[in-house]
Amino acid sequence: MLARLVVGGVISGAISGCTRQVPEAQALGDPVPGLTDDELARFEAGRALFDRVFSVEEGTGPLFNENQCSACHTVPAVGGTGEQLVIKATRRRGDGSCDILASESGENLRRQATPVLARHGIERDTLPSATADIATFSVPFLFGLGAADLVPEDALRAAADPDDADGDGISGRVGLTPDGRVGRFGRKADVASLHDFTHLAFFNEMGITTTSHPVERGPNGAPLPPGTDPAPDPEIDDASADLITDFVRMLAPPPRPTPTPDAAALIERGEALFTATGCAACHTPHVTTGPSAVAALDRVRARLYSDLLLHDLGPALASTCAPGASETEYRTAPLLGLAARRSYLHDLRAFSLERAIELHGGEAQGARDAFAALSVLDQQALLRFLRSL
Ligand code: HEC
Ligand code: HEC
């Protein structure tokens, strides 16, 4: 462990001066160590709201998926994953651009209705008639994403290599939001910030309007029957949404328990193989944050194992398109807390880490093949490394 840290420090020291590293938490769901009392208080208040069940009177619905953030983000701790799969539907327009069918609820099909809406015979969104492609997206871990929020946009642009100018077979494109900004969150990198994601999650998952999304969306975009949406808009105020965003921002990266000496040697070997096989070309171990009002996250290096860019993983994993992503492109999945997960990839189709790697195609074909060519022992070392993150 100590050896690993020293080696990491030397390498990063050469690249980025003596940037501090975000310390790890004691337990999943803990705040980043080193917060001020005031920041800790915001974290706790934000967690309470993240965990809170919002009633219909407070604005949940009339169409929604769940009535609390932690209905989905809960396993094995608040901020974690869950069993829900969120459904999205898209099509291609005549000019080839991606239509996320936003006005027909394609961006997020809501599968529940409040009793008052159900009395009108409306129980859920149905698949928009124009749908060409469907995605089922599983719930990602939110641990350690605060650092991802704070990477300067210029750094993302600098890391991108859209035309594969360096000829390594790996391009990497910057994500795009529907309104043309740089995206970095969501499996298709179509959301700009944690702030925006909180507002979108309230609107899309919980049917709760916010200052960014103040107009309730009816069933597949059709008008709501009168009297079915009594709560005044926006149904949640900015101060509360900001507390939730702060909670997510200050969630620490998962802990890394000290391994036994034998395991430590295996993990170290696996880490070297992770780089040698080309995994680290997309799953870049660290990001460096820009300035932040939260001192513990201010210009620090944080483990993420993602470049936050879009990569084409080939036709086997195709789902929907997004404003900046084709059907086969995904943002590199951060690789944190894998030991606490049982299934992998955007729709949880892989029940083992081996299978997740095997399903990497497209730009990742070379890394996949390099992994397949390793000896069984080396493969086990790499997998043990993944489970240590
Ligand atoms: C119905 C289940 C569900 C609920 C409720 C839900 N989420 Fe999520 N969350 C998801 C899914 C699915 C994704 C992945 C979506 C995607 O990739 O486009 C996600 C992604 C996220 C992300 C982006 C993670 C990343 O790696 O880019 C953030 C941040 C987030 N959710 C925060 C919240 C907050 C805050 C709330 C409550 C306001 C919330 N979520 C409620 C299912 C849910
Ligand atoms: C060209 C870029 C690229 C390379 C190279 C690459 N990956 Fe990935 N990886 C991705 C993307 C993009 C995803 C998300 C795919 C999805 O969700 O369907 C992903 C997902 C994963 C996941 C699943 C994570 C989760 O949360 O479900 C694991 C595990 C993984 N990669 C490990 C590896 C390993 C090990 C290697 C090297 C053998 C590797 N990857 C090489 C881009 C890459």
What are the tens digits of pLDDT across the range 178-201? Answer: 999 999 999 999 999 999 999 999
Cβ neighbour number for residue 372 with a 10 Å cutoff: 12
Asked if 338 contacts 368 with a C-beta cutoff of 8 angstroms, the reply is no
Which amino acid, 311? H
Asked if 120 contacts 270 with a C-beta cutoff of 8 angstroms, the reply is no
Which has more confidence, 313 or 23? 313
Name the token pair of 300: 């620090």
The contacts of residue 321 (CB under 8 Å, 6+ apart) are 90, 92, 98, 100, 133, 327
338 CB less than 6 Å from ligand 1? no
148 CB less than 6 Å from ligand 1? no
CA distances from 265 to 23, 42, 54, 259, 271 (A): 22, 40, 48, 9, 10
The contacts of residue 193 (CB under 8 Å, 6+ apart) are 149, 184, 185
Question: CA 81 to CA 340: how far, in whole Å?
Answer: 10
Supply the pLDDT for residue 81: 96
Assign 7 a pLDDT band (cuts: 50, 70, 90). Answer: very low
Q: Does the pLDDT value for residue 174 go beyond 60?
A: yes
What are the tens digits of pLDDT across the range 268-324? Answer: 999 999 999 999 999 999 999 999 999 999 999 999 999 999 999 999 999 999 999
Nearest ligand to the C-alpha of residue 251?
Answer: 1
Question: CA 100 to CA 82: how far, in whole Å?
Answer: 25
Asked if 142 contacts 248 with a C-beta cutoff of 8 angstroms, the reply is yes
Percent of the chain with pLDDT strictly greater than 70: 95
Supply the pLDDT for residue 18: 62
Asked if 251 contacts 32 with a C-beta cutoff of 8 angstroms, the reply is yes
Q: Is the peptide bond before 152 cis (omega within 30 degrees of 0)?
A: no
Assign 15 a pLDDT band (cuts: 50, 70, 90). Answer: very low
Longest dimension (CA), the chain: 67
Percent of the chain with pLDDT strictly greater than 90: 90
Dihedral-angle region of residue 222 (phi above 0 means left; psi in -120 to 50 means alpha; beta otherwise): beta
Q: What are phi and psi of 277, to 5 degrees?
A: -80, -10
Question: CA 167 to CA 259: how far, in whole Å?
Answer: 38
Supply the pLDDT for residue 22: 87
Nearest ligand to the C-alpha of residue 273?
Answer: 2
Supply the pLDDT for residue 346: 98
Q: How far apart are the first and last CA of the chain?
A: 12
Q: 74 C-alpha to center of ligand 1: Å?
A: 11
Q: 273 C-alpha to center of ligand 1: Å?
A: 32
What are the tens digits of pLDDT across the range 351-369? Answer: 999 999 999 999 999 999 9
What are the tens digits of pLDDT across the range 199-221? Answer: 999 999 999 999 999 999 999 98
195 CB less than 6 Å from ligand 2? no
384 CB less than 6 Å from ligand 2? no
Tell me the mean pLDDT in the region 33-57: 97
Q: 266 C-alpha to center of ligand 1: Å?
A: 34
Nearest CA to ligand 2 atom 10: 332
Q: Does the pLDDT value for residue 4 go beyond 60?
A: no
What are the tens digits of pLDDT across the range 134-172? Answer: 999 999 999 999 999 999 999 999 999 999 888 888 999
Supply the pLDDT for residue 272: 98
Nearest CA to ligand 1 atom 32: 198
What are the tens digits of pLDDT across the range 218-238? Answer: 999 899 999 999 999 999 999
Nearest alpha-carbon partner for 58 in 133, 114, 10, 108 = 114
Q: Does the pLDDT value for residue 380 go beyond 50?
A: yes
Nearest ligand to the C-alpha of residue 81?
Answer: 1
CA distances from 329 to 98, 319, 362 (A): 13, 9, 9
The contacts of residue 317 (CB under 8 Å, 6+ apart) are 328, 330, 345, 346, 359, 361
Nearest CA to ligand 2 atom 1: 364
Nearest ligand to the C-alpha of residue 361?
Answer: 2
Supply the pLDDT for residue 24: 82
Nearest atom of ligand 1 to the alpha carbon of 187: 17
Supply the pLDDT for residue 2: 33
Least confident of 13-17, 191-195, 331-335: 13-17
Which amino acid, 229? D
Q: 345 C-alpha to center of ligand 2: Å?
A: 8
Supply the pLDDT for residue 23: 82
Cβ neighbour number for residue 250 with a 10 Å cutoff: 21
Mean pLDDT of the chain: 93
